[in-house]
Structure 1
Amino acid sequence: MKDGKAAAAAYWKENLRVLLTLLCIWFAVSFGCGILFVDELDQFSIGGFPLGFWFAQQGSIYTFIVLIFAYVWQMNRLDKKYNLDEKEM
């Protein structure tokens, strides 16, 4: 595809882009929904609990778990793109 150093630099750049995107999403959900927008979200409820409280206690954790799977999926795609994927034995 590309020479070694250029491919490694491109791979690392894409890796950082994926990582920063997912961290921004997690920050927006945990800090934004759990702290900044809690008063607006508390107008709604999930399971009898105010939505802002739910995001602060549970929502950010669930979001983090989903983002872990999204990161794994994205990195597997990136590894295949740069021929760095692990082969089945």
Structure 2
Amino acid sequence: MKEENARAYWAANVRLILTYIAIWFVVSYGFGILLVDVLNHIEFFGFKLGFWFAQQGSIYAFLVLIVMYAVSMNKLDRKFDVHEE
């Protein structure tokens, strides 16, 4: 892999990681702590939404982000031709 291509690959990888970390932060800290009082006015499966995000929603979101990251990295690997067969 050429150095220029390697730098572009690494930059895209870091950008992808930062995007997913930002989403995780908003879901876990924002919805579970900062906006809990606002979200508690909405019911979700019989629970207050703010409580649900604080207890379970952020965990589910984290698991979904892991899968999305794996899929995104596979696409990125194919784009830069560093994928495994």
CA distance in 2, matches of 1:27, 1:75: 20
The corresponding residue for 2:49 is 51
TM-score by length of 2: 0.96
User: Which amino acid in the other structure matches residue 34 of structure 1?
Assistant: G
Runs of at least 5 residues in structure 2 that lack an aligned partner in the other structure: none
Q: Which structure: larger Rg?
A: 1
**Deviation (angstroms), 1:48:** 2.1
Aligned-CA RMSD value: 0.9
Which stretches of structure 1, 4 residues or more, deviate above 6 A after TM superposition? none
Aligned counterparts, 1:1-89, within 5 A:
4-87=2-85
TM norm structure 1? 0.91
How high is the sequence identity, in percent, across the aligned residues?
A: 53
Could you tell me which runs of 5 or more consecutive residues in structure 1 were left unpaired when the two chains were aligned: none
Aligned residues: 85
